[in-house]
Chain A
Amino acid sequence: MTRLKLALRLLRRDWRAGELNVLTAALVIAVAAVSAIGLFSDRMERALSGQTAELVGADLRLASPQPVAAEWLVAARDRNLRVAETLRFPSVVVHGEGLQLASVEAVGAGYPLRGELRTAKVLYGPETVAPGPPAVGIAWVEPRIMQALSIVPGAVIEIGVASFRVERLLTYQPGRGGSFFTLAPRVLIALGDVPRTEVIQPGSRVVYEYQFAGNANALAAYRQWLTPQLAPNHRLQGIGDGDSGAGRALKRANRYLGLTSLLAVILAGVAVAMATRRYGERHYDTAALLRCFGVSQGGVLGLLVPQFLLLGLIAGAIGCLLGWLTQAGIAQLLTGLLPATLPSPGPMPILFAFAAGLLLLAGFALPPLLRLKSIAPLRVLRRDMVPLSPPVLMVYGAGLLAITVLTLRFTGDWLITVSVLAGAGVAALALGLLALALLNVVRRLRSGVGVAWRYGFNNLWRRGRGSLTQLLAFGLALMAMAVIALLRSDLLASWQTELPPDTPNHFAFNILPADVGPLKDYFAARAIPSSGLYPMVRGRLTHINDKPVTRPVTKDDDADESLRRELNLSWSATLPPDNRLTAGPWWDAASGGGVSVETQLAERLGINLADRLTFSIGGQPLTATVASLREVQWDSFHPNFYMIFPPGALDDYPATWLTSFFLAPQQKPLLNDIVRNFPAVTVLEVDQVLGQLRAILQQVGAAVELVLLFVLAAGFVVLFAALASSLDQRIYEGALLRSLGASRRQLRSAQLAEFLLLGLLAGLLAAIGTEIIAYLLYTQAFELEYRFKWQVWLAAPLLGALLIGLAGVIGTRSVLQRSPSGILREL
């Protein structure tokens, strides 16, 4: 107890003497960064998952051609998941003499689980949120049905043998985002009304869809339980499963947040390591004196460990508080941008950050402390005696273990963790060798500068290992900052290009050949940007290499059954802008015919180049050889096709045209005008889906911007810790030089020269590292296109020189301020 009290007293004295400033700052920043990023990304992830869930309509969807076993739903409810059932089937909607093929969706209680249904009283009129699904006997229809059947709200339509009163226009339905590009217009009715229609008969093509929402853990557990029981014709879709823009953005943002936390932790680890090393070196005398006073080796540890433990606890608590306040501040700052009901943060990020702080401290501080334990008491007589370095494995092993545990926590995957760490190890080694080579070059270049500058340059080489450590630390910090900053701008840019401001927000279908020219003119006259008009022929893929296709193939597997066996075929002379060839050439006049197939479909069906595909178009067969495979960006809001033929190949078949176009809010009244001028054309509005996607991208963008600050803060602590690591030696040498007659100006110049050069070299090192690491991250983790980052080669050395030059001169001003005699007397 007495020893513990003494340990605390010693801690207080060290604290007062400023011995613990850097270490505490490093720990506080590490914990604050991990907790703030953890808390914020936890909240954002929950909020974003909620938003994405709205786009999907639920957290998890299960589609099946038959009703699923009742116990599957019981099992979901047992896990406290909310369940909603829907039934989708094609049917003809009748009003008087008018007929329209529609996709009828019967929805049960609780639908929609995520998001809300919105309806309007009149075409293009104001929307209101519907409190729940339609009541029995009521139908809500999409505007296209109104147009096609020329009806107004209040009209009665028939589905099968049942009558429904059309009450409202369905303007927004969550869950259409995933496959909004569905051709048949929808009619929404109550699930209880289905038997009344007598449409569902044995053999009918029906999609039973079950939607689930609830706690993420429960969902994951349910999914794990359900997956092995699924039949091939079941389709399970969760948030982020699809390759949608939102899913991709979310995945990338999560990776970015994880990477940022990891980098902040690694940087803080480096700072903690440097700070404890300095702490250790400055406490050799204390430890030797304690040994002299009769304290055993264990006793020395017994005095030091509680100090560090307490420091870890205090710094951890401050860090957590700071982290919590920061994330709360961020959420406050982004009010309006973030969802109104941002979920509260869970306790896990706080606990983890706290543990991470202690783990970092244990990993990086224990080796220097153990070194203090083994100090020889004889040091009181012979100050040149320093303790033996513990085995390399112990020095680096503990820190490595700490970083491994933290990396594993962020990646959740052993293989990725080992790859990341092995990559980092190789990179550190390569950078170390490079740093050594750079120092060697400096050594050769030192002639030709003034005395003070030459002294500064010489210092770099003379300090050898110290300079190398500093160079690596500075380089690492600058590199981490550069990588995160670059990635941030490129992620933001990629999200901006993903959905540019004039992204088409309307699709127009059923454009008759006679309307193609006038519609083009109409758009041109009103400066309406459109993605061009594409011909479309409906056909069915029947044979691959003369073998019948057994699996139904449509554009969208879970699309309406009426379309299930039909594909939209198109033709084009040029490769559409959102398409990228992955195999085979695009045709030109010389290469002749064939068909270009979308890659995912080709993979699903096992279609390869040169395969013979047979289509049935209006009962007539058409055979074509696969000339190329294309990757298609489906969420570009431009018309896209699984099958594209060369011009002329489909001339014998009846075609309609399709386009997408952008209307600014003030141009919305033009919609009625378009419908009036081109009565055959049906227009689909996708503003809502687009708006939701944009909101998600904006939010992840904001998160990405903000977490950058933590890496910067951690980077600065490393800079400071690295500066502090050589401060004592600099103060001593400065005092000695001044006592030998060097002027303050000469000393300042020498320091400036040394730090400028150190910064310049560190910047160069950072540029090389950034180029390599950014390349790997872009291509392997973020699926971003990588371009040579020439700006880094300019900015990193310049910023490095400026930053480290400035920080160095300010950080070591005590060398110039204190009297040489005072300094020399202390030593």
Chain B
Amino acid sequence: MVSAAGLCKQVVTSEGMLDILSDVTLEIKAGESVAIVGVSGSGKSTLLGLLAGLDTPSRGSVTLAGQRLELLDEDGRAAVRAGRVGFVFQAFQLLAGMTAQENVMLPLELAGVTDAGARARELLDRVGLGDRVGHYPRQLSGGEQQRVAIARAFAGGPEILFADEPTGNLDSATGARIIEILFELNRERRTTLILVTHDEALAPRCDRRIQLDGGRIVNVARVSS
């Protein structure tokens, strides 16, 4: 489903060239759930950005849904993502001017789904926010906002879901509830899940755990569920 070969990412700083990712090679199969773990600054989010085609590598290649991303331009990569990829972000990334339902509707509307409203309501109900559909993000707690984000991520029926520190902004109890929902939906919909987290406790819930350190993969472990 997603693979990377010899992936490198370098940035120019005032002190010269900085390697953020070095020679990362991995393959993630359809339906698999993978946790990318590591300390802050280990290159987790950069890897996620590259795998999702949000960023371009300095070297190496990424294949997503059978397409070599580094050969495509911005719009080409966007076309690969369209309808196939869902995202959950640490900062939720809900649009402040839209209600919970409208936020969830957005990917459906972009895909031209006619009953976007009903499907959004259904998903919000599924994440336990059936009574908050008309609320704006500022009227929701952090956990509730992340639940809306999860509903939005699953709304388009993605084949693959990228989650970047989904519990990073939440307390542990709320975080646990969010993870519960995320994994439940993932199981139900047989989505490929790539989860970036610094929370080691989340890793055992995935099929595989990839540990990064200093931009390199230092450990790949299969996790028995």
Chain A residues near B (Cβ < 8 Å): 2, 6, 9, 13-14, 16-17, 19, 285-286, 289-299, 376-378, 380-383, 822, 825-826
Note all chain B residues with C-beta closer than 8 A to A297.
74-75, 78
Contact status A13-B75, CB under 8 Å: no
CA distance A383 to B89 in the complex (A): 11
Listed by A's residue number, 22 A-B pairs whose Cβ atoms lie within 8 Å are A2-B112, A9-B109, A286-B95, A289-B95, A289-B106, A291-B74, A293-B107, A294-B79, A294-B81, A294-B82, A295-B82, A296-B74, A296-B79, A298-B75, A299-B78, A376-B54, A377-B74, A380-B54, A380-B89, A825-B142, A826-B96, A826-B137
Q: B26 an interface residue at 8 Å Cβ cutoff? A: no
Q: Is the CB of A290 within 8 A of B164?
A: no
Q: Please report the C-alpha to C-alpha distance between residue A2 and residue B53 in the assembled complex, in whole angstroms.
A: 26
Nearest Cβ distance between residue B112 and chain A, in whole angstroms?
4
Query: Counting CB contacts under 8 A, is B19 at the interface?
Result: no
Docked CA distance A691–B97 (Å): 61
Which residue of chain B lies nearest to A9 when distances are taken between CB atoms in the complex? B109
List residues 59-74 of chain B with CB under 8 A from any CB of chain A: 74
Instruction: Please measure, in the bound complex, the distance between the C-alpha atom of A286 and the C-alpha atom of B89, giving whole angstroms.
Output: 14
Q: Known pairs A289-B106, A295-B78. 10 more at Cβ < 8 A?
A: A13-B97, A17-B98, A286-B95, A292-B54, A294-B80, A296-B79, A381-B49, A381-B54, A826-B96, A826-B138
Q: In the bound complex, do residue B97 and residue A294 qualify as a contact, i.e. CB atoms below 8 Å apart?
A: no
Q: Do A383 and B91 touch (CB < 8 A)?
A: yes
Chain B contacts of A17 at CB under 8 A?
A: 96-98
Residues 119-176 (chain B) with a chain A CB within 8 angstroms: 137-138, 142, 156, 164
For window 90-115 of chain B, which residues contact chain A by CB distance below 8 Å? 91, 93, 95-98, 102, 106-107, 109-110, 112
Q: Which residues of A contact B181 (CB under 8 A)?
A: none
A629 to B78, CA, bound (A): 80
B49 touches A378 (CB 8 A): yes
Shortest beta-carbon distance from A732 to chain B in Å: 13
A169 nearest CB across to chain B (Å): 77
Report A-chain residues with C-beta under 8 Å of the C-beta of B97.
13-14, 16-17, 19
Out of A9, A290, A294, A295, name the residue touching B85 (CB < 8 Å): A294
B91 surroundings in chain A (CB, below 8 A) = 383
Candidates A14, A16, A295, A826; contact of B110 at CB < 8 Å = A295
Output the least CB separation between A819 and chain B (Å).
Answer: 10
Known: A290-B110, A292-B87. Contact between A377 and B138, CB under 8 A?
Answer: no
Chain A residue, CB-CB nearest to B155 = A293
Which 5 A-B residue pairs are closest in the complex by CB-CB distance? A294-B82, A17-B97, A296-B75, A294-B81, A2-B112
Smallest CB separation, A711 vs chain B (Å): 32
Closest CB in chain A relative to B162 CB, distance in Å: 9
The complex places the Cα of A822 from the Cα of B145 at a distance, in Å, of: 13
How far apart sit A6 and B109, CA to CA, in the bound complex (Å)?
Answer: 7
- Among A285, A291, A380, A382, the residue within 8 A (CB) of B78 is A291
> In the complex, are the beta carbons of A381 and B85 less than 8 A apart?
no
Q: List residues of chain A with CB within 8 A of the CB of B82.
A: 293-295
- Whether B45 contacts A294 by the Cβ 8 Å rule is no
**Known pairs A293-B82, A380-B87; A285 contacts B138 (CB<8 A):** no
Tally of B interface residues using CB under 8 Å: 36
Q: In whole Å, how far is B82's beta carbon from the nearest beta carbon of chain A? A: 3
- Give chain B nearest CB distance to A730 CB in angstroms: 17
By a CB distance below 8 angstroms, the chain B residues around A381 are 45, 48-49, 54, 89, 164
Q: Distance (Å) between the CB of A292 and the closest chain B CB? A: 6
Q: Which residue of chain B lies nearest to A377 when distances are taken between CB atoms in the complex?
A: B54
Selected contact of A6 from candidates B84, B95, B110, B142, CB within 8 Å: B110
Q: Which residues of B contact A (CB under 8 A)?
A: 45, 48-49, 52-55, 74-75, 78-85, 87, 89, 91, 93, 95-98, 102, 106-107, 109-110, 112, 137-138, 142, 156, 164
A76 to chain B, nearest CB (A): 63
List of A residues within 8 angstroms of B98 by Cβ: 13, 17
Shortest CB–CB separation between residue B56 and chain A, in angstroms? 9
Instruction: Tell me, in angstroms, the Cα distance from A297 to B79 when the chains sit together.
Output: 11
Chain B residues with CB under 8 Å of A380's CB are 54, 87, 89, 93
Q: Which residue of B lies closest to A2 (CB)?
A: B112
Q: Which A residue's beta carbon lies closest to that of B77?
A: A377
- Report the bound CA distance from A376 to B49 in whole Å: 11
| Most B-side CB within 10 Å, residue of A19, A299, A381 | A381
Q: Which residue of B lies closest to A16 (CB)?
A: B97
A293 touches which of B48, B89, B110, B142 (Cβ 8 Å): B110
Contacts of B54 in A (CB 8 A): 292, 376-378, 380-381
Docked complex Cα distance between A297 and B107 (Å) = 16
Compute how far the CA of A55 lies from the CA of B35 in the bound complex, rounded to whole angstroms.
91
Measured between beta carbons, the chain A residues less than 8 angstroms from B95 are 285-286, 289
**CA A376 – CA B53 in complex, angstroms?**
11
Contacts of A13 in B (CB 8 A): 97-98, 102
Contact status A289-B78, CB under 8 Å:
no
B150 CB to closest chain A CB, in angstroms? 15
**Complex alpha-carbon distance, A383 and B164, angstroms:** 13
Q: How far, in Å, is B21 (CB) from chain A's closest CB?
A: 14
For B55, list chain A residues within 8 Å (CB): 376, 378
Minimum CB–CB distance for A386 against chain B, Å: 15
What's the nearest-Cβ distance from chain B to residue A12, in Å? 10
**B93 pairs with A289, CB closer than 8 A:** yes
Residues of B near A822 (CB, < 8 A) are 138
| Interface-central residue, A9, A289, A292, A383, by most chain B CB under 10 Å | A292
Picked from B83, B93, B112, B142, the residue with its CB within 8 Å of the CB of A294 is B83
B74: nearest chain-A partner, CB-CB: A297
Query: What CA separation (Å) do A13 and B94 show in the bound complex?
Result: 14
Knowing A378-B54, A826-B137 touch, does A293 contact B81 (C-beta < 8 A)? Answer: yes
A252 nearest CB across to chain B (Å): 48
Which residues of B are found within 8 Å of A299, using beta-carbon distances? 78
Which residues of chain A are near B142, meaning CB under 8 Å? 825
A375 to chain B, nearest CB (A): 10
Instruction: List chain A residues, Cβ under 8 A from B79.
Output: 294, 296
A383–B90 CA distance with the chains assembled, in angstroms: 11
Which residue on B lies nearest to A20, using beta carbons? B97
For B97, the closest partner residue in chain A by CB is A17
A80 to B93, CA, bound (A): 68
A6 and B102 CA atoms in complex are apart in Å by: 11
Kindly state the separation between the CA atoms of A295 and B53 in the bound complex, as whole angstroms: 13
Collect the chain A residues with CB atoms within 8 Å of residue B102's CB. 13
Q: Closest residue of chain A to B139, judged by CB?
A: A822
CA of A13 to CA of B109, assembled, Å:
14
- Bound-complex Cα distance A377 to B93 (A): 12
**Residues B156 and A293 in contact, CB atoms below 8 Å apart:** yes
Chain B neighbourhood of A376, CB < 8 A: 54-55
Q: Report the bound CA distance from A290 to B106 in whole Å.
A: 9
How many Å from the CB of B7 to the closest CB on chain A? 15
Query: Which A residues are CB-close (under 8 A) to B93?
Result: 285, 289, 380
A285–B87 alpha-carbon span in the complex (Å): 14
B residues in contact with A298, CB < 8 Å: 75
Chain B residue nearest in CB terms to A827: B91
The smallest C-beta distance from A6 to any residue of chain B, in angstroms, reads: 5
The answer on a CB contact under 8 Å between B78 and A296 is yes
Bound CA–CA A13/B106 (angstroms): 12
Q: Which residue of B lies closest to A818 (CB)?
A: B138
| Min CB–CB distance A350 → chain B (angstroms) | 33
Assembled-state Cα–Cα distance A296/B96 (Å): 22
Please indicate the chain B residues that have their CB under 8 angstroms from the CB of A383 in the complex: 91
Query: How far does the Cβ of A492 sit from chain B's closest Cβ, in whole Å?
Result: 47
Decide: B112 and A292 in contact? CB cutoff 8 A: no
Q: Who on chain B is nearest to A290 by CB?
A: B110
- Chain A's closest residue to B113 (CB) is A2
Give the residues in chain B near A2, CB-CB below 8 Å. 109, 112
Residues of B near A286 (CB, < 8 A) are 95
Q: Which residues of B contact A294 (CB under 8 A)?
A: 78-85, 110
